[in-house]
Amino acid sequence: MEVTAAGRRAALPRALSVPAMTRFIAPALTLIGVPVGLVATGGNTQTVMTLSLAVWLAVLAFFVRRWPLTVAIISLLSVAAFRTADLIGSGWVWPATAAFVALALAGRLRAAIVTALVALTFGFAWDAFTALDHGPEWALVHVGGEKLWLVAVLAAGVAYRNNLRWRDELAHRLAEDGRRRRAEERVEIARDLHDVVSHTLAVVGVHLNVALDAFDADPAEARESLKLAQDVRGRAMTDLKSLVDVLHDGPVAGLDGLDRLVEQVRSPGLSVSLNEFGERADVAAPVATAVFRVVQESLTNTVRHASASHVTVTIRYAAAGVVVDVRDDGHGADAMVDGNGITGMRGRVAALGGALTAGPADGGFQVRATIPQ
């Protein structure tokens, strides 16, 4: 696909073109620098002509941001005209320094080098073979000095441009990292919402089924199941509110919520045991959140799919990491292996450098996660 020069300029960040401040700085420096330079190099043969050249080059410098190469060519032709007419006594390239800086900042280094070489070659030939009071040695020294000056100017311009490019690239990467982190946060929020909502619906469904079955035979048990369902619903609303409130502050649940989680799942048809080994306090907050979510999702899957009568939750805390094992005696393994909940658990654990396995075990279903600290 063809890209025009205008398209390339538009694709570049504004900072990589000639800075806006050069609209005033370049003319001012040219207006001051040309007379000072001619005086310093002995080229001020006529003060009026020196000032005239300085003013003309300063006027051209006002347009250097938009047409750097054009300004450079016109400036060099003007200097050559003044020089060959003996209106000034020195300089071929350096009076047009502003234009060469502009070319370097615009990324047109090749154009700057070619233009300068043409001007310096002409200047050397004029001083060495045309001027009556100069010879090749004198011309070589003066043209060589201008060449060194030009190399220094172009090097400074390129270095400044590269610095601007680096800063722009750094800002771009930081913005990309910010967008990536926000995307990851949205995925994490979706997982948390899935965990809370699916767990709540599963537990409430169990209690409602118990209440429905016992409605005629044991109204007291039905009433208790309905009360438990209402309590779970209320706690879920609290969890959802907490999730929204602390999105920017950290995890929404931790190990302190495990006991309440187990109590929510227990019902007349499902017994749950929680066994913990080690110290909860030694677990880092991200790992604690992952442990809670693994247990929550595993229990939710057991309630919804396994038709189990008992589930055992075993958690081992150690300095190297945490091992979570959730095992039930149900028969819903086929429905649970490829569920979104297990995929979410596996992704959450993998994000912390751990591993999670899920599948049939001893006639039931087992979820085992190893999370390093």
List the CATH number of the domain containing 289.
3.30.565.10
Q: Does 1 have pLDDT greater than 60?
A: no
Cβ pair 346, 293 in contact under 8 A: no
**Position 131 confidence tier, pLDDT thresholds 50, 70, 90:** low
Residue-level pLDDT at 34: 84
Q: Above pLDDT 90, what percent of the chain?
A: 7
- pLDDT at position 250 is 45
Establish if 369 belongs to a structural domain: yes
Mean pLDDT across 193-218 = 72
- Is the confidence at residue 15, as pLDDT, over 50? no
Specify if 3 maps to a domain: no
Residue 222 lies in a domain: no
* Domain co-membership, 279 together with 146: no
Residue where one domain finishes, among candidates 121, 151, 176: 176
Statement to judge: residues 141 and 271 lie in one domain: no
Same domain, 170 and 261: no
**CA–CA separation, 17 and 28 (whole Å):** 19
pLDDT at 246 over 50: no
Poorest-pLDDT segment among 149-153, 177-181, 215-219: 177-181
* Number of structural domains found in the chain: 2
Same-domain status, 38 and 136: yes
3-12, 32-41, 55-64: least confidently modelled range:
3-12
Q: Is pLDDT of 339 > 80?
A: no
Q: How many CA within 13 A on the CB side of residue 74?
A: 16
- Asked whether the predicted pLDDT for residue 325 surpasses 90, the reply is yes
Confidence at 40, pLDDT banded by 50, 70, 90: confident
Domain boundary among 176, 200, 219: 176
**Could you list the residue range(s) of the whole structural domain that residue 302 is in?**
253-373
- Strand, coil or helix: 22: helix
Q: What confidence category does residue 333 fall into, taking pLDDT thresholds of 50, 70 and 90?
A: low
Residue 56 lies in a domain: yes
Residue 356: pLDDT band (50, 70, 90) is very high
Q: Is the pLDDT of residue 148 over 80?
A: yes
Provide the pLDDT for residue 9.
39
* Residue where one domain finishes, among candidates 176, 203, 231: 176
Is the Cα torsion angle 75, 80, 82, 88 positive or negative in sign?
A: positive
**Banded model confidence at residue 128, pLDDT cuts 50, 70, 90:** confident
145 and 35 fall within a common domain: yes
What 250-256 contacts at long range (C-beta under 8 Å, 24+ apart), as own/partner pairs, is 250/285, 251/285, 251/286, 251/288, 251/289, 251/292, 252/192, 252/196, 252/289, 253/289, 253/292, 253/293, 253/296, 254/285, 254/288, 254/289, 254/292, 255/280, 255/283, 255/288, 255/291, 255/292, 256/280
- Examine the pLDDT at 159 and tell me if it is beyond 80: yes
pLDDT per position as a tens digit, 259-291: 888 887 776 677 889 999 988 877 887 888 889
- Is 274 in the same domain as 366? yes
Do residues 53 and 166 share a domain? Answer: yes
Tell whether 172 and 278 lie within a shared domain: no
Question: For the chain, what percent of residues have pLDDT higher than 70?
Answer: 76
Question: Do 45 and 166 share a structural domain?
Answer: yes
Residue 367: band (very low, low, confident or very high) from pLDDT cuts 50, 70, 90: very high
Lowest mean per-residue pLDDT among 84-93, 191-200, 329-338: 329-338
| Predicted pLDDT of residue 274 | 92
